[in-house]
């Protein structure tokens, strides 16, 4: 019962925090006009490509270990 009450208060706190934020569409427009949005997209793509390469290399090593076993 204590866990349920704690979960309820956590959910209540997170919803209160999300309602406290104002929508800011101006930020995205400002970033696009200054060209910074392309830097953000490039960084995100680099991170995803790095994660994909890392996961594929782990998969390759696991397949090699499974064949040797």
Write down the domain spans for the chain.
36-69
What is the spatial distance between Cα 9 and Cα 16, in angstroms, rounded to a whole number?
Answer: 10
List the pLDDT tens digit at each of the 69 positions of the chain. Answer: 777 787 777 777 776 655 555 656 666 677 778 888 888 899 999 999 999 999 999 999 999 999 987
Q: Kindly tell me the sign of the dihedral angle through the C-alpha atoms of 39, 40, 41, 47.
A: positive
């Amino acid at each position: 019962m204590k866990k349920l009450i704690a979960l309820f208060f956590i959910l209540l706190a997170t919803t209160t925090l999300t309602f406290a934020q104002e929508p800011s569409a101006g930020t995205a427009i400002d970033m696009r006009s200054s060209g910074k949005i392309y830097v953000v997209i490039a960084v995100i793509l680099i991170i995803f490509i790095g994660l994909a390469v890392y996961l594929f290399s782990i998969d390759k090593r696991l397949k090699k270990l499974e064949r040797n076993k």
